[in-house]
Structure 1
Amino acid sequence: MRTLTYGMNVSLDGYIAAPGDDITWTAPSDELFQWWSDRVGETDLALYGRKLWEAMSSYWPTADQQPGVTPAEVEFAHRWRRMPKVVFSSTTGTVDWNTRLVTGDPVAEITRLKAEDGGPMDIGGATLAAAAMRAGLIDEYVLATAPVLVGGGTPFFTALDNWVDLDLVETRTFPGGVVLTRYVTRR
């Protein structure tokens, strides 16, 4: 059975995007960027909601060909293109770059994918992750908490019907005051 991890950059007040989908405050240090890149390299399958897919697919497929690109960005672009991805959307028509589109029930498909043999899966996008969270499908939460208060926007966590007990498994501080915490779901 595969594990499913929900991880994102998050503001101290709990948002993954400020009002207007502003994510300019999430620019990672080189060290944090490398941590996320290594995570992509270890991910067997990434699950994306539409908005996150649109953001990622608008930049990373050709990022390694842009002027001034860093070696770390080249590495991330290559890893991102190689990594199998599933996009959940009822409005997106086509996907590319080693990606499959699912237009049906995300909870049913994520449940099916988790039951398969294979390596770890990551899930990203607030709406998609919220559905998986409410269904009890997330095994691990990774928060890269930035020292900024954005006052509103897209929350990392959704409203839940029941508590989810977690165990802290890692804490790490990155340059710029970003604190990474990893929690596993207590089953």
Structure 2
Amino acid sequence: MQWIIKLDDGLARLSYLCGWVACVAMLLMAGNVFYDVVARYAFNEVSIGMQEMEWHLYSIVFLLGIPYALRTDGHVRVDVFYTRWSNKAKAWINLTGALLFVVPFAYLIGIYGYDFALDSYSMGEGSGDPGGLPHRWLIKSVIPVTAFFIAIAGLNMATFALRVMSGEKQYEGENSGGGLA
């Protein structure tokens, strides 16, 4: 059982790293939007590259926020039922959901996202707008990277569920429904 604890803690650290990167990207995006607004309204200057950087950063926030949300139990589910169940029932649901849905879905995202990014790289895809950002494959490559971290978060859901089943951990929150302890 000791190996599950170490594996669970290691997988959790990777998901928290994704959350940290998403947080930094959010702060950078806020600064970018602030710059765009000031430049536009105070100096009548517009930068297509900076505007495109906003959606690039938003993509990073969204994509790398997913593994973090899975780890911290912040994802969407039917909590009206889930909150009433015992920790063991929740663990079985999370274990089943992680292994049957999250990990296979991450695999599909990874396969298709890799081809998507590779095609973009092969074409030398850049912005279609003058003054836009070159190398669009860089942001598209975040998709398969995120798929890897989503799979890691799914495995982390499974290892945490095993720890709950063993009685070592429990789900926290009101009626122990939501959040991880």
Q: Which has the higher strand share?
A: 1
TM-score normalised per structure 1: 0.28
Larger Rg: 2
Higher RCO (CA 8 Å, separation ≥ 6 residues): 1
TM-score normalised per structure 2: 0.29
Q: Which has the higher helix share?
A: 2
